[in-house]
Structure 1
Amino acid sequence: MRTALTDVVGCRHPIVQTGMGYVAGARLAAATSRAGGLGVIAAATMPVDQMTAAIRAVKERTDAPFGVNIRSDADDAAERVEVMIREGVRVASFALAPRRDLISRLRDAGVVTIPSVGARRHAEKVAAWGVDAVIVQGGEGGGHTGAIPTTLLLPQVVDTVDIPVVAAGGFFDGRGLVAALAYGAAGIAMGTRFLLTSDSPVPDEVKKVYLGTADTLVTTRVDGVPHRVLRTPFVESLERSRLRLLRAVLNAARFRRLSGMSWAGMLREGRRMRHGRDLGWAQVLQAANTPMLLKAAMVDGRADLGVLASGQVVGVIDDLPTCAELIDRIMAEATAVLNGLTRLRTAPAPSPTRVIPPGGR
């Protein structure tokens, strides 16, 4: 299936695997790109040397295009951009807001830039900067999300910008891909659906938690901004806790011990995440150690002590296919749906019913 997305990126199918911290490493990104989609390394939670190693690992496993997702507000963002350019990464995406100077540097080097947005005005802004495409995530999506549903946000953006638009939030099958194309999108991006594959590195016991629930909520108690996660006892305790500063300090201390980060470094990270937001110091500390909450679940397998980001589609997912099986299935479903719509369009009109008046022939 050829779309504006496949043309600009070079992948075979208009399906993007989103960058998910501690989930989308070399293994998942390579499996996705090898299967014809666009795999994305979530490098925002990796040190630079680990990001470099992940890029090289994907290149060893496939010659298909792939992307890297970074945080533009990181102290070493410029260094990460240079690594991506040097290593020949095809696509750059961004966790949270991008930066115009980074977009310009990447584009000048021939790297395709695809930021994510949750509002029409944000799409207009980055389109004016000269990005190659944009991912539009509606409120159904997991992780940081807005309040506007995909079905309303997507057509707004498609009608506003003249670059390829990728739809995210609520997609998991071929019907969704066709629906996105009908709205004018050039493809779909999925996070939760790729998290729940056999190629995902998430521990099996955590995947079972995902498969066993359909309940998510949007909370600001993780890092101060809306974050869609699974409703777990741990998240509910965050929601109702009145000792938020104490809990944040304890979590921050645990993260500092494991990460080796200094208290000063953690506070700098928290202030950076606090910039432009109305956050108290409890949220600043919580924001600074959010990676620890993600790592606890996604790496250590402690769903009882961590945060499980999830889109609402978790309630309709019940299997763990490989990335290749998933993408092949989505494309087969999409083809079947498109063929069915074509038959509706070309089917002969039914003959009109002849009405015989009383006493007539």
Structure 2
Amino acid sequence: METALTELVGVRHPVVQTGMGWVAGPRLVSAAANAGALGILGSATMTTAQLKQAVREVRSRTDAPFGVNLRADAGDARERVRIIVTEGVKVASFALAPSRGLIAELKDAGVVVIPSIGARRHAEKVAAWGADAVIVQGGEGGGHTGEVATTVLLPQVVDAVDIPVVAAGGFHDGRGLVAALAYGAAGIAMGTRFLLTSDSTVPDAVKAAYLAATVRDITVTTAVDGLPHRMLRTELVASLEGAGRAVALSRAVRRAAGFRKLSGLSWAQLVRDGLALKHGKDLTWSQVLLAANTPMLLRAAMVEGRTDLGVMASGQVAGVIEDLPSCEELLGRVMREAAEVLATLAG
């Protein structure tokens, strides 16, 4: 199936595996790429040395195009951009809108720039700055999310920009792909669906928790980091929501120290990142400190398998996923379903 997305990045199928922190490592990304999707490394939880090693490992596993997801507000964003350029990565994606300068630097080096956005005005902004495409995530999506449903946000963005639009939030099968194409999208992006594959390195106990969840077991909370965050509802989430501000802040500071050690960032870099986050989201300093919860709480679940001590970011779609196929099996199924739906619509 050829679309503006497949032509832009050179993949077989109009499907993107999103760059989830602690989840989208070399094994999952290379498996998605070999299956015909655009696999994207989640680099926000990697040091720059780990990012370079991960890029090289993916390349050793596949000849297919792949990308790297970056935090545009990170203090070392330009260093990570240089790694992408030097290592010849095909695509750079961003969790937040990148600056005009970062987009220009990447495009001058021949890198395809695909920011993720959650509002029409953000899509218009990055398109005007030269982004090659955008991933549009509706409120159904996992992790940090907005309030507007994909079915409302997607057509708004498609009508507003003249670059390829990739739909995210609520997609897991071929029917969804056809629906997104009908709205005018050039493809779909999936996070939770790729997390729940046999190629994902997420521990089995965590995958089991996702598979057991119903759509009512997935909630949006601000208790973790002060921002709306979609995740599985657990006893830990309930305890965070019930904790006082002083307790929450003390936990956040401890986890910030842990993340600093893991990420290799200095306290000065963490403070700069906090200032950027505070300005970009208009947060209080208390909320900025609470944001330190996220990387360590996600790591506890996604790496250590501690469903009791970690949080599990999740799209609502987890409530209708029931199996753990390989990426090859998943992509084959999605494309077969899409073909069947298109044939049925054609009469």
TM-score by length of 1: 0.91
CA distance in 2, matches of 1:13, 1:247: 43
CA displacement 1:282-320 (0-9 Å, x = unmatched): 422221342111111100111111111100000000100
Count the aligned residue pairs: 343
1:245 to 243, 249, 255: 249
CA displacement 1:111-163 (0-9 Å, x = unmatched): 11100111111111011011111100000000111110000000111111111
Contact 1:22 1:294 in 2 (8 A): yes
Give the aligned partner of residue 100 of structure 2.
100
CA distance in 1, matches of 2:332, 2:286: 45
Give the aligned partner of residue 292 of structure 1.
296
Please show how residues 1-361 of structure 1 align to structure 2 within 5 Å: 1-214=1-214, 215-242=217-244, 243-255=247-259, 266-343=270-347
CA distance in 2, matches of 1:187, 1:179: 10
Query: For residue 303 of structure 1, what is the amino acid of its counterpart?
Result: T
CA distance in 2, matches of 1:162, 1:320: 36
After superposition, the Cα gap between the structure-2 partners of 1:265 and 1:156, relative to the gap in structure 1 and judged at 3 Å, is closer
CA displacement 1:151-193 (0-9 Å, x = unmatched): 0000111111111100000000000000000000000000000
Residue 170 of structure 2 aligns to a residue whose secondary structure is coil
Q: CA deviation at 1:96?
A: 2.0
CA distance in 2, matches of 1:261, 1:202: 25
Query: For residue 65 of structure 2, what is the amino acid of its counterpart?
Result: P
CA displacement 1:47-88 (0-9 Å, x = unmatched): 111001111111111110000001111121111111111111
Contact 1:270 1:284 in 2 (8 A): yes
After superposition, the Cα gap between the structure-2 partners of 1:262 and 1:85, relative to the gap in structure 1 and judged at 3 Å, is closer
Residue 40 of structure 1 aligns to a residue whose secondary structure is strand
List, as ranges, runs of 4+ consecutive aligned residues in structure 1 with deviation greater than 6 Å.
none
Root-mean-square deviation (Å): 1.6
Residue 114 of structure 1 aligns to a residue whose secondary structure is strand
Query: For residue 59 of structure 1, what is the amino acid of its counterpart?
Result: R
CA distance in 1, matches of 2:293, 2:205: 23
CA distance in 2, matches of 1:276, 1:113: 20
CA distance in 1, matches of 2:102, 2:273: 20
Contact 2:143 2:314 in 1 (8 A): yes
CA distance in 1, matches of 2:262, 2:39: 29
Residue 346 of structure 2 aligns to a residue whose secondary structure is helix
CA distance in 2, matches of 1:253, 1:68: 26
CA distance in 2, matches of 1:88, 1:217: 39
Query: For residue 333 of structure 2, what is the amino acid of its counterpart?
Result: R
Q: CA deviation at 1:268?
A: 4.1
Contact 1:216 1:230 in 2 (8 A): yes
CA displacement 1:206-236 (0-9 Å, x = unmatched): 1111111121111122222211111111111
Contact 2:21 2:43 in 1 (8 A): yes
Query: For residue 239 of structure 1, what is the amino acid of its counterpart?
Result: E
Percent identity of equivalent pairs = 69
CA distance in 1, matches of 2:340, 2:276: 48
CA distance in 1, matches of 2:111, 2:58: 17
Larger radius of gyration: 1
CA distance in 1, matches of 2:42, 2:257: 25
After superposition, the Cα gap between the structure-2 partners of 1:194 and 1:63, relative to the gap in structure 1 and judged at 3 Å, is same
Unmatched tracts of structure 2, length 5 or more: none
